[in-house]
A and B are shown apart, each in its own frame.
Chain A
């Protein structure tokens, strides 16, 4: 897979609203983690999917701890010191890494999600991730379109959720 398709972090660009955005891999920096908690704490509940992100700062903190404690790769989109998007790959199950992506509402529709998703996949490839899967509610058409755009294929669609998969190798 070429770097062009799935570039590695860090990556800087101007979004469709002219805002300077930088995508970086998330490390152990407590300030950066706190900024991410703050993003989710203010996240619009209408944009939750399948129970995540949870509601309430404590629950958000617990959820993120669970992600970070496991084997996971995380990239965050920054506008200055403000976290405005987060995408994650979490190991588990018997078929590679589960993917999820969230863009903070004031920054949605500005081209950040696509770049965040591709950069996460580039970060995954660089770390040897080969198979990525996700589930998405079948009425979430904009998310499904985004996943299809980067190459995800629907594996199963018999339930309320679609299962999609992408092979990176």
Chain B
């Protein structure tokens, strides 16, 4: 299966990557990561590369800015025939309410492939 993982600096984004990498180890998925942050090569990307290095697997890592994140994830998934998009499950407010945010909502509404939110 071809899996596209979007990782930003939100709470469980790296957790979503770990989940996808774990499953890839068991199911031989092909994993591509889109790092969502302002500048290429920032803190999120180094966290992502750390995780990937620890699993000894070939993973394509790309970068996109926050404003185009949703549309980029959806168009990559469509154009390159991914089977699934994996994202972190959302952030929690001070009250503990889950908030999806713009990127997750855009992807859920517009992707033609399965979208998995990892909590």
CB of A80 within 8 Å of the partner chain: no
Residues of B within 8 A of A88 (CB): 95
Candidates A50, A63, A91, A159; contact of B94 at CB < 8 Å = A91
> Is chain A's binding surface mostly helix, strand, loop or mixed?
mixed
Q: Is the interface on chain A under 10, 10 to 19, 20 to 34, or 35 or more residues?
A: 20 to 34
A160/B93 in contact, CB under 8 A: no
B97/A52 in contact, CB under 8 A: yes
Q: Given the interface contacts A159-B102, A159-B105, does A93 sit within 8 Å of B97 by beta carbon?
A: no
Candidates B95, B101, B102; contact of A98 at CB < 8 Å = B95
A98/B100 in contact, CB under 8 A: no
Residues of A within 8 A of B93 (CB): 50, 92-93, 98, 135
Within the assembled complex, what's the spacing in Å between the Cα atoms of A70 and B95?
Answer: 10
- Nearest to B92 among chain A residues (CB) is A51
CB of A67 within 8 Å of the partner chain: yes
Instruction: Count contacts on B: residues with CB < 8 A to the other chain.
Output: 12
Taking the closest CB of chain B, its distance from the CB of A23, in whole angstroms, is: 20
B101/A159 in contact, CB under 8 A: yes
A50/B101 in contact, CB under 8 A: no
Within the assembled complex, what's the spacing in Å between the Cα atoms of A54 and B97?
Answer: 10
B96/A63 in contact, CB under 8 A: yes
CB of A168 within 8 Å of the partner chain: no
Of residues 58 through 106 on chain B, the ones whose CB sits less than 8 Å from some CB of chain A are 92-102, 105
Query: Which of A49, A50, A70, A88 is most buried by chain B, counting CB atoms within 10 A of its CB?
Result: A50
CB of A161 within 8 Å of the partner chain: yes
Of residues 113 through 161 on chain A, the ones whose CB sits less than 8 Å from some CB of chain B are 135, 158-161
Query: Which of B93, B95, B101 is most buried by chain A, counting CB atoms within 10 A of its CB?
Result: B95
Within the assembled complex, what's the spacing in Å between the Cα atoms of A125 and B59?
Answer: 54
A67/B95 in contact, CB under 8 A: yes
Taking the closest CB of chain B, its distance from the CB of A30, in whole angstroms, is: 22
A70/B94 in contact, CB under 8 A: yes
Within the assembled complex, what's the spacing in Å between the Cα atoms of A99 and B96?
Answer: 11
Residues of A within 8 A of B100 (CB): 159-161
A98/B99 in contact, CB under 8 A: no
**Taking beta carbons and an 8 Å cutoff, which residues of B are in contact with A?**
92-102, 105
Could you give 19 example pairs across A and B, Cβ below 8 Å? A51-B98, A52-B96, A54-B96, A67-B96, A70-B94, A88-B95, A90-B94, A92-B95, A93-B94, A98-B94, A99-B95, A100-B97, A135-B93, A135-B97, A159-B100, A159-B101, A159-B105, A161-B99, A161-B100
**Taking beta carbons and an 8 Å cutoff, which residues of A are in contact with B?**
49-52, 54, 63, 66-67, 70, 88, 90-93, 98-100, 135, 158-161
